[in-house]
Amino acid sequence: MIGERELKTMKPTAILVNTARGPIINYSSLIKALENGWIAGAGIDGYDEEPLQPNHPITRFKNVVLSPHAGSATHETRTKMAKLVAENLTVFYKGKVPPTLVNKEVIKVRPPGFEKPTA
């Protein structure tokens, strides 16, 4: 999603921040943008390859902040995530499709619900 074309349209004072998935950024293009001053810097919390290798070219820039894909590690976010898991499990237990199910095609193979123990 973010490649050379997108980076060239940013202001030279822009800082690219990625807290989503790493592969949405073309890292070769980002490195080129940083080397050529197309943007001022970057803040990255998700990488194209995890864990990020210490010798990855992105690590050499002083105008780049790297975090270990832990941007969502706040008390508020983790509490919401736990509630969402509980809600999904409850709905699944009742034999219904969980509200945040990503791979919906699995329902064709395995319907929601837990097998009832036989006595």
119 pLDDT above the threshold of 80: no
**How is residue 13 written in tokens?**
């004072």
Residue 47: pLDDT band with limits 50, 70, 90:
confident
**Single pTM value for the model:** 0.64
Task: Please list the active-site residues.
Answer: 21, 50, 69
Residue 28 CA: distances (Å) to CA of 23, 43, 75: 11, 16, 34
Q: What does the domain layout of the chain look like in residue ranges?
A: 4-66, 75-109
Q: Are 11 and 5 in contact (CB under 8 A)?
A: no
42 pLDDT above the threshold of 70: yes
Task: Measure the CA–CA gap between 19 and 28, rounded to whole angstroms.
Answer: 18
Higher pLDDT, 92 or 49: 92
